Structure 1
Amino acid sequence: MPSLDSQNIDTPHETRPFRDHGHMDVVTLGDFTLGRGTFEPGWRWSEDVKPIAGTDSCQTRHTGICVSGRMTVRMDDGAEGTVGPGDVVLIEPGHDAWVVGDEPCVLYDTGVAAYAKPQ
């Protein structure tokens, strides 16, 4: 049966704070989850999310788009890249990441159903 459901990301279903530098706003509609991550300058996964996740590296598969700021991602195998505004990303599990520069990095991400959610 067709349906329509919507929720504005500015009034998310939940907000998951990072340890010190930002948060993830999360909207879930049925089995679809979208997050808007605001990663403030100084944010680093291994410092701000690792204590929440309890894993050595990020084990979430991220798919999304960066709309502002810059973030560098380093995979567990050493591969590294930086994303910025307009970059569409697919980041497989097994990585660390950090904000580059003095501007918050904002990413929309469909891979956040369990991201930064206390275990």
Structure 2
Amino acid sequence: MQTVEHESFDAPSEVREFPHGRGEILRVGDSVISRLVLQPGWRWSQDIKPIAGTDSCQAPHFQYHVSGTIAIKMDSGAEFVAGPGDVTSLPEGHDAWVVGDEPVVVVDWYGAANWAAATA
């Protein structure tokens, strides 16, 4: 039987700080959901790559874009821009960066458990 749970990004289970942003992590039942707040100047290959230790982001994502504009380039060379109201499903193997002067806020239902987490 499923139980009722109520969590809020106002009091996340964990906050992961990194250059130009933060990831706010909620644990709800067996799920991990994150809200990423990425400031202008943020780029995965500059700000997260040193934490992840991989050449490109290896976390798959399923995200709802709340605000701001982000460019995404897949390792295959495919490139696109996502903004408010968009939903993206990304396999592993990509870079991303904030476009413009507005912070990017996305809610990620997949890939949040290990994203921007320091490896031991």
1:42 aligned onto 2:41: yes
Alpha-carbon distance between aligned partners in 1 of 2:32 and 2:99, rounded to the nearest angstrom: 26
How many Å apart are 1:110 and its aligned residue?
1.1
Alpha-carbon distance between aligned partners in 2 of 1:11 and 1:45, rounded to the nearest angstrom: 25
1:11 aligned onto 2:14: no
Alpha-carbon distance between aligned partners in 1 of 2:51 and 2:30, rounded to the nearest angstrom: 23
What TM-score, normalized to structure 1? Answer: 0.96
**Which residue is 1:113 aligned to?**
113
Gaps of 5+ in 1: none
1:53 aligned onto 2:52: yes
* CA RMSD, Structure 1 to Structure 2 (Å): 0.7
**Which residue is 1:89 aligned to?**
88
How many Å apart are 1:64 and its aligned residue?
1.4
How many Å apart are 1:69 and its aligned residue?
0.2
Runs ≥4 residues deviating over 3 A: none
How many Å apart are 1:30 and its aligned residue?
2.1
What TM-score, normalized to structure 2? Answer: 0.95
Matches within 5 A, 1:23-42: 23-42=22-41
How many Å apart are 1:7 and its aligned residue?
1.1
Percent identical: 48
**Which residue is 1:98 aligned to?**
97
Aligned length: 118
Alpha-carbon distance between aligned partners in 1 of 2:85 and 2:20, rounded to the nearest angstrom: 22
Alpha-carbon distance between aligned partners in 1 of 2:63 and 2:10, rounded to the nearest angstrom: 18
Alpha-carbon distance between aligned partners in 1 of 2:39 and 2:52, rounded to the nearest angstrom: 19
State the Cα deviation string for residues 75-113 of structure 1 (Å, max 9, x = none): 001100000000011011000000000000000001211
